[in-house]
Structure 1
Amino acid sequence: MNTRTFTWSAIVILLLLFSFTAMTSCTRIDAGHEGILVKLYGSEKGVQDVSLVTGRVWYNPLTEEVFEFPTYVQTVDYNPFSVNAKDGSVFTVDPTISFRVMAGESPRIFSKYRKEIGQITETTLYNYTRDAFRIQFNQYSTDSIISNRQSFEDKVQQALGDALKKEGFELEQMTSGLQYPEVIVQAVNLKNKAVQQAMQVENELKVAEAQARKKIVEAEAEARANDLRQRTLTPLLIQQQFIEKWDGRTPLYGNSPTFFKNVE
């Protein structure tokens, strides 16, 4: 009886152990990820040459471990940092990059850094981003950066893309978030203000000139009208206008009634 009990107990334990091992030695690699199998012990300790495809993977949890590397595009917004231009001006960069792991490169990346993608993003990729900006800033003066900002950022993106590609990453997009030094911002604002004031004064002068020309035209027209009236206002015309407006009563000029007043 004791032997039979012991046998059944051993069988149950083995079944439980087998079930536990089966559950822990199988994992599923989600879509948009690459799975890599890492040997924890033995002479082949490291990453297997072949990346595991998406799907269900069986492994020995005692001697092996499976990691997942996302292959979809990821975006990371780094904290701002300061960089010096060629002439010593201090610029602030607030970069955002979008990248992805190149297909089949997960084993090589993990073999080199022994970190998951999140840690690599916050350390290695951040350092590459800083270096790309630092190297390009050292080749540009303040004026050239401001005058050729698009060209400058294109070169930074090209340099960063080349550096990440060597590490197994593909740079999809980069925005610099470049912020000019406060002195430069103030100088630009003052320049813009001066330009705006000059445009305002010029507009006011144009308005004043237009108003002055309007008054001159009005005065010239009035003078010509008065001259024309003086030349056309003859005694006969005055008498005719008088008759047209006469109310039938004889007007009194001087001491006796007179029909017409001498206007000569």
Structure 2
Amino acid sequence: MEILRYAAFSTDPAGGNPAGVVLDAAGLTGDEMLAIAADLGYSESAFLTGDRLRYFSPLAEVPFCGHATVATAVALGERRGAGTYVFRTNAGEVPVTVDEHGRATLTSVPASSTEIDDKDLTELLTALRWDRAELDPALPPRIAYAGAYHPVVAANSRRRLAELDYDVPVLKALMEDRGWTTVQLVFRTGPAGFDVRNPFPVGGIYEDPATGAAAAAFGAYLRDLGLGDDTVELSQGTDMGRPGKLTVTLTPGEAGVKVTGDGVRL
């Protein structure tokens, strides 16, 4: 068994989101996968058995992880060549196309968004130490889904996004109770551009550097509210010193959301 290490959504090993990748995990139990993920300490690691792909944070298994999916597809592309790889995940079937340059595009399971309960929003903002006056009224808070659930909360200033200082135990408990995987914090930088940050205390990580699952969910959020173009660029990880780029594509008539990014071996 070989444990590979890749950074997704970057061509620079110092950027993007690191992930562990095991391309032949047939001999591993779930507990052993969790132990490997905890030892690596990345936000998630991916374990491939045939066409089944499982994801583990240092604390628990998660239903879907975009950056570890991209990392796995890039690793397979380097070994088997360009093409489409279809993974069976706990959230559903996820196809990923790797082009001749090693750039991967995943298509999420059917994605959607719903209104957030006002009590949940109050508790979320309290845990984040945000005030309602700091929210962008053009981007209302919602819960978005593309294989995992993510609250979407938009700041009305880049400064608010930059000053991330949340109450870890309170936010972790709220997210575990509600079944949320990360929180998608965004600031709109232009008509088709957003800066993004993702608290991930339920995974034992203060912040995720580049979050493909949340990017896909955010695509559904924009589509449902008619707020985004067909292609949206997300910048994430800059505040952590690990800049990454995620391209979100909305295809008319397609229930899933496409997320594209590079990958590089560490």
Normalised by the length of structure 1, the TM-score is: 0.23
Higher RCO (CA-CA < 8 Å; seq separation 6+): 2
Q: Compare CA radii of gyration and give the structure with the larger one.
A: 1
